[in-house]
Amino acid sequence: MDNFSPEIIYMRMALREAERAAAEGEVPCGAVIVLDGQVIGKAHNQTETLNDPTAHAEILAITQATQETGNWRLNGAVMYVTKEPCPMCAGALVLARIEKVVWGMTDPVRGGAVSKFQILNTADLNHAVEIQTGVMEMECKAVMQGFFQKRRKEAKERKQQSRQNDEDSYP
């Protein structure tokens, strides 16, 4: 894959969305949906911001894409997402008839596409989604790992500050 392949171009867009999520304190996942060479949806996780457990990047991007096309069926569309979709998002990809999903990093603990569950290619469902994995995997992992390292560091600092405050309050 060269730097000008669609996979790289659109995954870079998804990474920018993931970075926006991280800047907002959200788990850094970004998604972009493309149909006939045009971006028809892009989003990042907003579960905390919207106080909505369904506000994952994939779901929000699907909503934008269906509004853009005026059709809930996104036949022929490709989603680029920074990490493997969870079971909820994988189900939404099937229901929306997304043709293909391309992601950077797999999620062996919660992955709904191939890792933990195989929703995208379950024979009993009415649609199967083509899969391409590992696109810009290192960059996607770096954003995710950086986010959680920062969170752990901040939690440790808060705990240390709390201990210090407790010690200072005793005579």
pLDDT at 138: 97
Cα separation of 33 and 53, whole Å? 21
Report the alpha-carbon distance of residue 51 to residue 134 in Å, rounded: 30
- Asked whether the beta carbons of 34 and 22 are under 8 A apart, the reply is no
Query: Among positive and negative, which fits the CA dihedral 14, 47, 132, 140?
Result: positive
pLDDT tens digits for the chain (171 residues)?
677 899 999 999 999 999 999 999 999 999 999 999 999 999 999 999 999 999 999 999 999 999 999 999 999 999 999 999 999 999 999 999 999 999 999 999 999 999 999 999 898 998 999 999 999 999 999 999 999 999 898 888 877 777 676 666 666
Q: Which residues are catalytic?
A: 58
Task: State pTM to two decimals.
Answer: 0.90
Burial class (CB in 10 A: 0-12, 13-18, 19+), 64: middle
Residue 151's pLDDT is what? 87
pLDDT score recorded for residue 161 = 77
At 82 the pLDDT is: 98
